[in-house]
Amino acid sequence: EVQLVESGGGLVQPGGSLRLSCAGSGFTFSSYWMSWVRQAPGKGLEWVANIKQDGSEKYYVDSVKGRFTISRDNAKKSLYLQMNSLRAEDTAVYYCARDGGRGVIVVFDYWGQGTLVTVSS
């Protein structure tokens, strides 16, 4: 059974940092692109960043470029999101999601349960 389990969320002050983790199991983690998707309270879904299987390609939404860094450790079957210079508007539930690799189309076929990040003084 494919499982993704996020951790690392919490309350942080504006300007602070936080590192999210996502542990994968039940599939060959190193064979898939992985993404972070977030959802602000009461709002819709926003794709944040993704990373290629070997970590050689990374993409970000404009609003987090220069502040967030996505990375992975295939030996540990883990995905990470280092979040610096956090702002109130970064408050959201952060999900990790697997790109199921339906050919060239990006499809988020498995999601974690999410971890809540709250940026507030």
Query: Are 59 and 82 within 8 A, CB to CB?
Result: no
Question: Tokens representing 83?
Answer: 């979040």
Which of 2, 23, 61, 116 touches other proteins (CB under 8 A)? 61
Piece in contact with other proteins (CB under 8 A), picked from 7-15, 18-26, 39-47, 67-75: 39-47
Structure tokens at 9: 């969320």
Which residue, 113 or 120, has its beta carbon nearer to other proteins?
Answer: 113
CA 115 to chain centre: 10
- Please state, in angstroms and rounded to a whole number, the distance separating the CA atoms of residues 24 and 2: 7
Closest distance of CB 25 from other proteins, Å: 16
Q: Report the alpha-carbon distance of residue 85 to residue 74 in Å, rounded.
A: 27
Asked whether position 32 contacts other proteins by CB under 8 A, the answer is no
Hey, how many other C-beta atoms are within 10 angstroms of the C-beta on 91? 17
Which residues in 84-113 contact other proteins (CB under 8 A)?
95, 100, 102-103, 105-109, 111-113
Binding site for other proteins (CB under 8 A): 35, 37, 44-47, 50, 59-62, 95, 100, 102-103, 105-109, 111-114
